[in-house]
Every structure is written in C-alpha cells, then in structure tokens.
DNA sequence: CTTTATTCGATACGACTGTATCGAATACGA
DNA sequence: TCGTATTCGATACAGTCGTATCGAATAAAG
C-alpha cells in the first residue's frame, strides 16, 4: 500500500485555504491552483480530496457553518450553566445573536464568505440545501433561546409566556436582522459599533415585549 | 457621420439583459457574449457601451437600485397623499419596507441580483461604493418614514415622539431585517408568507414602541 | 526482494474568459 | 458627390479555468 494520509485533516486544511481565498476574492474567484498553493499541497491532491470544485466549496461552507454554530453553543454553555449569574437567558440570547451577526472585525472574513455563499446558493441548489440545513439548526436553537428568555421574563413578572409561534417569529426576525446587519457592515454602510447598537436596541425591545404587556420602567436602552 | 444610436436606451437594454442573466447565474457567471446575445446586439456594441465588464455591472446594479427606490417612493406617494385614508404613516412605512424586502415572487430575480451584488461588493470597492450610496438614500428615506409614523402615533396618544437617534436606529433595523429576510427567502429557508409574517409582526411591535410606553391593548398581531 | 495497489506531482487539454484590433458599412457635413 | 468620422460585426489573442491523464514514487503485503 502507498503512503497513507489523513484525508480528514487535509480536507480541513484545504477548506481553511478556500475560506481565506473566498473571503478575499469571492467563491467564484478562487481557483483550484490558488487553493492548492495556499494549502501547501499539489493540485492533484486537491483533486483527490474533492471530486469537483463544487464539492470543495460545499465542504468549505459547512466548515464555516460549524465553526459559527460551535461558537454560539459555546456562548450558550457559558451563560446557561449558571442561570443565576450575569448569564440570564436574555444575556445568552444576546450573546448568541451577536455571534451570529459576525460583527467583530476578527470575523469579518467569515462574514464575507458567508455572504458570498448565500448569494451563490441562489444559483447552486446543493449549496442552497447545505445552507438551509444550517439555518434550520440555527432557527431551532434561537427558538429555544427566545422561549427560555420569555419564560424567564414572564416568571419575573408573573405573566404567561407567549405562544411557540410567537417565539418562532421572534427567532426568525432576530436571525434575519443579524444577517442583514452582517451584510451592511461588510458593505461598509454601517460600522461595527452602529450595527451592534442597532442589534442591542432591538434586543432591548424584544425583552420588553417578552416580559408581557407591562412596559417595565427601567429597561437599559443603549444609546448610539 | 455614421448612423447615430440612442446610447442611453442601449445601455438600459444591456443592463436589463445583465439583470436577467445575473439572476440566473450570478454576476460572475455572466459573459459579455451572453449579455450581447440576450440584448440582441453584437459583442462589439456592448464593448462600446461599457469600457469594461466591471463598468457594465456597476451600471446594472444602479439600474436595479433605482427601480426599487422608485417603487418605494411610489408607494410613499400613494399612501402619503391622503393621510386620512388607509394610508397612515405606519401603513406607508409597512408598504415601503415590504417593497424593499423584495418578497414577492415577481421580484425574486431582483432579490437574487441584489444579494449577489452585495456579496460581490465585499470584493469590489467601486461596487461597494455604489451600493453604499443606495443604502444611504434608503436609510434617510426610512428615517423620515419612521419619524412620521412616530409623530403620528405620539399625537394619537398625546405623548412625545422618540429622539431622532432612536428613529435612525429603528430605520436601520428595519432595512437590515428586510435584507435578511430577502436572503432567507431567496435561499428557500423561509417562504414568502413566513417572511411577510415575520416582517409584519416586527412592524406591529415597532408601532407599539413608537406609540409611547402605553402597551395598547388591542394591537392587531398577525398570526402565522 | 518482489509484487501490487495507491498516491504523488506534473502536465495536457479543451473550453471558456475579457479585451484588442481591424476592415467594411454607414450617414452626415461640405 | 465626395470625404470623413463613427459604428458596425467579426475575429484574434492571451490568459485562466476545471478536469483528465500519466508515469514515477511509495509503502504495505506476500
């Protein structure tokens, strides 16, 4: 038998290279040769790892999606384990949506890649399918977070939490808002701070809503 | 002199062809030859109209942006002229944001194009500049609409309208929400109806917020 | 050591791409 | 009517793309 290689590790490394290049030139702008050079492997190696370019891009977008979802879950665990500390359900939700929005400069590259892949998905059905499953998982996670925040708020004020349908609508709105803000920051229409402020103000409004009909005098509204 | 042609008309026709093709294969996927064939002109004619492909794409995205903004303004005029009818400021705002979200199936192509161009703008600075100016205009328009809706609601309840900064934040959130929903519909993660419902429920929440701190018992919440 | 299955890097190929060039056709000004 | 400036469509060109192919190198099995 020939020299045995760790294909998984290699695929990951190639995916990493794809991400870097796709962030700089868009998914269509990356060539297999550039990827190979960036990943320090030969063109043939790339070809043996992925049957086609499309398959490579598919793997790469899954890679990014997993990383983001992983960070979201990590933030959930940090705040959710000790529900008495500063990590209330509302705080966990805020951290999650901030993570998804990819506002921080260090994640700007991921934001560009994600945006580019979403756009390309409008053309490539298999890519669309991959992204749909990512969003489906994200939505379920957010529905749960919203519901938890709602019961928390409702319990504090002695009211009933909203319906599951309402929670789902709020979750969808949050994800869409985060995605939209991501695009606006990548575009340069909004700065990182402006987008963050917008996001936080909407979260504050959501908290008020979830608490029941009581307007709640002292909600900390974030000015900017 | 040679046969004189209407360049403006030709550029528009070419831009139309670019839009159709870019909607199907993405902006990178359109070739000058395909554009020429679609617009029923020769390759040379396209080259004479636009110095380069980039310039052509720039013109095309401006074309789309103008069409959308035009529709938004048209909806504004329809509802704003008679502020006693069903066209309250809030209704005008709703129509505007719905138009921007490009949810209707007949505008799906425009939605795909816009998404693709936003993604490409992350790579092409001149394209980003063009889109930024489009968003800047859109934001000013929405700030105005939100402010009008706020004064309307505040007057009805005898309270003071919010600050200009608050209105701007709401406007930005609305645009981002609309953009995010556009993407989710194009992707197939949400149906047109789901996105519309999400949008309307957020608008209802915004109306409550703008009315002052009174929770207002009978706001028509739209279930889905 | 020999055999054999597998991976290696390189190179070849055909199909595009955007751009440049060019002679013919055209229609106005003199 | 002649001259000329301009537009026309076609073709040439250099480059890149993704993919296919191929002999050499490699390492486990017999």
Nucleotide C16's nearest residue (CA vs C1') is B31
What CATH topology corresponds to A64-210? Tetracycline Repressor; domain 2 (1.10.357)
The answer on pLDDT for B201 being more than 60 is yes
Q: Does domain A1-50 have CATH number 3.40.50.300?
A: no
Whether A119 has its CB under 8 Å from any CB of chain B: the answer is yes
**What is the tens place of the pLDDT at every residue in B120-160?**
998 899 999 999 999 999 999 999 999 999 998 777 776 67
Which residue, B133, B63, B66, is CA-closest to A188? B133
Q: Give B122→chain A minimum CA distance, Å.
A: 6
Segment B35-41 mean pLDDT: 96
| DSSP string over chain A | ------HHHHHHHHHHHHHHHHHHH-GGG--HHHHHHHTTS-HHHHHHH-SSHHHHHHHHHHHHHHHHHHHHHHHHHHHHS-TTSS--HHHHHHHHHHHHHT-SGGGHHHHHHHHHHHHHHTT-HHHHHHHHHHHHHHHHHHHHHHHHHHHHHHHHHT-----HHHHHHHHHHHHHHHHHHHHHHHHTSS-HHHHHHHHHHHHHHHHHHHT-S---TT------
Sites in chain A below the pLDDT cut of 70 = 1-3, 79-87, 158, 212-224
Whether A137 has its CB under 8 Å from any CB of chain B: the answer is no
Task: Please give the C-alpha separations between residue B187 and each of A117, A172, B65, B93, in angstroms, as whole numbers.
Answer: 10, 14, 21, 25
Identical fold for domains A1-50 and A64-210, yes or no, is no
Residue A217 pLDDT: 39
| DSSP string over B32-43 | HHHHHHHTTS-H
CB A120 within 8 A of CB A27: yes
Chain B CB contacts of A186 under 8 Å are 118, 121-122
**Mean pLDDT of the residues in chain B:** 88
Q: What are the sequence ranges of the domains in chain B?
A: 62-210
Mutate to test the interface with B, among A114, A167, A189, A221 (most CBs of B within 10 A): A189
What DSSP element (H or E) covers B176? helix B164-187
The Cα–Cα gap between A202 and A174 comes to 9
- In the CATH scheme, what architecture does the domain B62-210 have? Orthogonal Bundle (1.10)
């Amino acid at each position: 038998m020939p020299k045995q290689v760790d294909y998984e590790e290699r695929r990951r490394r190639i995916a990493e290279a794809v991400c870097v290049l796709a962030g700089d030139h868009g998914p269509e702008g990356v060539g297999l040769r550039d990827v190979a050079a960036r990943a320090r492997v030969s063109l043939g190696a790339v070809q043996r790892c992925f049957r086609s370019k499309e398959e490579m891009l598919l793997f790469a977008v899954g890679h990014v999606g997993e990383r983001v979802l992983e960070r979201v879950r990590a933030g959930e665990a940090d705040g959710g384990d000790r529900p008495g500390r500063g990590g209330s359900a509302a705080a966990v939700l805020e951290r999650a949506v901030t993570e998804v929005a990819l506002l921080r400069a260090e994640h700007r590259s991921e934001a560009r890649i994600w945006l580019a892949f979403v756009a390309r998905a409008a053309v490539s059905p298999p890519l669309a399918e991959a992204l749909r499953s990512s969003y489906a998982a994200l939505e379920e996670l957010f529905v749960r977070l919203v519901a938890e925040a709602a019961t928390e708020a409702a319990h504090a004020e002695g009211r009933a939490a909203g319906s599951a349908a309402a929670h789902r609508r709020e979750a969808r709105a949050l994800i869409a808002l985060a995605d939209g803000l991501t695009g606006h920051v990548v575009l340069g229409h909004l700065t990182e701070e402006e987008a963050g402020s917008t996001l936080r103000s909407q979260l504050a409004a959501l908290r008020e809503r979830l608490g029941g009909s009581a307007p709640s005098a002292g909600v900390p509204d974030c000015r900017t």
